[in-house]
Structure formats: C-alpha cells, structure tokens
Amino acid sequence: MLRSIGNLQSTRSRRNSSKLRSAIMSSMAPPSSSVLVQHEIDSLVREKLDLHSQLFEAARIQRKLSGPRMFRNVNVQFASEVFAARYLSGDFTIFWQNGSRVLVVLGDIAGKGIAAGMWFTNMAGLLQSYGGPDANPSKIATEVNRHLCDLRPVAPFVTAFLAQIDCHLGQIDYCNAGHFPPILFRSDGRADLLEIGGPLLGAIEPAEFHAGRVTLQPGDTLVAYSDGVLECRNASGEEFGSDRLIAALREIEQQSAQTTLMMLLAALQDFANGLPLCDDVSLTVIQHAH
C-alpha cells in the first residue's frame, strides 16, 4: 500500500514538473506571427500619428512666418491664402510693414511637400536679411539670387514677385523674378500684367533685375497667384488658366480684398469640382478701397 501511494505521488510529481516545464517553455517561446504583425501595425500607426503631428506644427510655423492673412494699411487692403498640395507648401506670401509702407513677397519654390517647405525657412531668413519695408525690390532679388546660386546644385529654383507699396500714394515699385505676372485689374475693367523684373532666382548668377512702377488707384485690385491656380484642372483635363481668372475678376462686383479672395477661390473650387490639388495654390489680393 505504501509503495502504491509512493508511486502515485511520484507520478503526480512528474506530471506537475512536466506542466511547470511546459509553462516555462511556453513563456519563453517567441510570440506568434499574428502578435508580431499586430505589434508592427501598432508601431507604424504611432509613427504616422507622430509624423502628422510634426507636419501640422511645421505648417503652423510656416503660416506664422508668412504674416497675417488679412490686414489694412491706410486705404489699401491685403488678403492672402496658401494651400499645400502635400503637407507643407512651396508657395509663400510674406508681408512686412513700416508705417504706411508695405513690402510684399510672393514666391514659389520648385517642388512640393516637405523639401520645398524646408527651403521656405531659408527664403524667409534671406528676405529678412535683405528685405524690409523700405528695401528696393530689384536689389532684394539680386541678393537672394546671388545667395541661391552660391548654394547650387542643392538650392532649388524660386520664382518671386516683390513689391514695395506706399499705401498713402498707392505707388507700387515691383520686381518680377520669373513669377507668373500678377494682374492689375483697373476699376474700369482693364487688366495689366506686371512683368518687369528678371529671371527666376537661383538660375543665373550674373542676372540683372529691373524694377517697374505702377499706381494703385481707388477701386483697383492687384491679384497675384502661383502656377497652382492657373494649372488647376477639371475632370476633362482643362486648366483654369489666366483667362478664366480675369473673367472671374470681372464678374465680382466691388468688394473687400478678403471677399474678392474668397470668391476667386470659390470659382477655382467650382472649376475643379472636387478634384484634389495637383500643386500648391497661393492667391493674394491687394485692393485700394474707394
């Protein structure tokens, strides 16, 4: 009897020991493939959320460096918007004010997305160094062009429209460095293009940049834009183009700069009919109020 009990206890002990070994080996075994896949998915989701958070913050900084979306100086109203096709925009609009004088710089950095957005901070720094409300637009273009040429082949090409505006007189001294020419839409319906300047920045080191001068009369509107506006396409593959932009301006009755901007963007949106942006879009309206 004692021997039987001893054998039974020995058997139970072996069984318990076997269960313990199995439990230990199970805890030491590599996780199943499904667990590994889920862990990888969770890690990628966290990385994506973190990246989106950082890009959102970068976009906020970019917008902050660009200056106000809307303001008024004496009788001249300013309104601008920039929409990125991919997170950060290569298009930019920067304003500096000093009394009744305003320096406006509108630009388009070659490329899209993060790389173009990173070069924006470099451009903002250059313009801060060489620009200012009293600076000559053609001289600013010359200095920025020299700097970008020194950084070739790393630096991108940049188109820019630089304008020094005396808001008391309505006088605009400008330099167009390879940018699509802004439209000066007169109160009587005429449309002039501001084309005087030079080549795009960063392309030709000894390039010369010239300045043009126009006067913004009461009721006149200056509209500056990037190629993303003109090249916006509809479902048929047609581009919005400058003719449609001018036609949209003619249909807008005398409004504030902000309202004019919103109505032009609405016309662009209606034309695209829900299609996503294929390029960054920037639009600026400067208007001399009656």
* C-alpha span between 280 and 84 (Å, rounded): 5
Which range, of 50-59, 139-148, 244-253, averages the lowest pLDDT?
50-59
- Cβ atoms of 76 and 165 within 8 Å: the answer is yes
- Number of separate domains in the chain: 1
- Cβ atoms of 92 and 109 within 8 Å: the answer is yes
Domain residues for the domain of 278 are 51-288
The answer to the question of residue 283 being in a domain is: yes
Supply the mean pLDDT for the chain.
Answer: 84
The answer to the question of residue 1 being in a domain is: no
Confidence check: pLDDT of 214 > 90:
yes
- Angle, helix 113-130 to helix 33-66, in steps of 10 degrees: 30
Enter the tokens of residue 115. Answer: 């790389």
The answer to the question of residue 44 being in a domain is: no
The answer to the question of residue 197 being in a domain is: yes
Give me the mean pLDDT over the 88-101 stretch.
87
We report the CATH number of the domain holding residue 144 as 3.60.40.10
The answer to the question of residue 73 being in a domain is: yes
Query: Phi/psi of residue 76, each to 5°?
Result: -105, 125
Enter the tokens of residue 250. Answer: 């003619």
The answer to the question of residue 38 being in a domain is: no
Nearest to 74 by CA among 171, 172, 167: 167
Give me the mean pLDDT over the 78-85 stretch.
88
* C-alpha span between 9 and 21 (Å, rounded): 18
The answer to the question of residue 86 being in a domain is: yes
Which range, of 15-19, 181-185, 284-288, averages the lowest pLDDT?
15-19
* C-alpha span between 95 and 72 (Å, rounded): 12
Query: What are 9-54's pLDDT values in tens digits?
Result: 555 555 555 655 555 555 555 666 777 777 788 778 888 777 767 6
Report the percentage of the chain scoring pLDDT > 70: 82
pLDDT of residue 6: 47
The answer to the question of residue 158 being in a domain is: yes
The H or E element containing residue 51 is: helix 33-66
Which range, of 14-18, 37-41, 61-65, 155-159, averages the lowest pLDDT?
14-18
Nearest to 198 by CA among 214, 178, 182, 224: 178
* C-alpha span between 242 and 259 (Å, rounded): 20
Banded model confidence at residue 3, pLDDT cuts 50, 70, 90: very low
Confidence check: pLDDT of 243 > 60:
yes
Confidence check: pLDDT of 83 > 90:
no
What lies within 8 Å, CB to CB, of 240 at 6+ separation is 229, 230, 231, 232, 233, 234, 268, 271, 272
Tell me the whole-structure pTM to 2 decimals.
Answer: 0.79
Banded model confidence at residue 171, pLDDT cuts 50, 70, 90: very high
Give me the mean pLDDT over the 228-239 stretch.
90
